[in-house]
Amino acid sequence: MSNNSKRITILTEVELRKTLSRLTSEIIEIVKNLENLLLIGIPTRGIDLSEVLEKELFLKTGVKIRKGTIDPTFYRDDQNRVGTRLIKATDIPIPIEKKEILLIDDVIYTGRTIRAAMDALYSWGRPQRIMLLVMVDRGHRELPIQPDFCGKKVPTSKNESISLRLKNIDNEEGVFLE
């Protein structure tokens, strides 16, 4: 636990678990054929979140849902503004034609990452539909992109940041405003 006095807990570990459970129930309700679903995580936390959701979905349905990752870095229209980070390899395990894709990210902000991820996805084929799941919607959209599944809406100022922390990576769990 960092001793950052400005840190505010948005979701505790228990609340995060309940939210993940609710989101998986919503996915099961909306996606009629889970065999046709492909979870696609957006680096870096979206990948971790997709693994958690895959386990939750398996526990609730017994269906092993395939997952992959997509790095939208090269598809961004604001690369010079966001800077560069280590590129994660895109890994799409199966053809996406006619698949239902669930793009997964931890936080939606301007919508630019999601738009870039969709552009990157279309270079792999044409899915039946693309849905979006985010843990936190912090507002400030610059593009008309809204999540189909949302853990929590949290209005923020532009100089605040939100972090999703997961036990297997961070040794703590929750969503925090910093």
Instruction: List pLDDT tens digits, range 143-157.
Output: 999 999 999 999 999
Reply yes or no on whether the pLDDT at 85 is more than 60.
no
Alpha carbons 32 and 36: distance in angstroms, whole number: 9
Q: What is the mean pLDDT of residues 103-116?
A: 96
Q: What is the mean pLDDT of residues 121-146?
A: 96
Q: What are the structural domains of the chain?
A: 32-159 (3.40.50.2020)
The phi and psi torsions of 137 (rounded to 5 degrees) equal -105, 110
Average pLDDT of the chain?
A: 91
Tell me the pLDDT tens digit for each residue of 13-58: 999 999 999 999 999 999 999 999 999 999 989 999 999 999 999 9
Find the helix packing angle between 13-30 and 45-61, rounded to 10°.
70
Alpha carbons 27 and 119: distance in angstroms, whole number: 23
- Are 139 and 124 in contact by the 8 Å Cβ rule? The answer is no
Reply yes or no on whether the pLDDT at 87 is more than 60.
yes
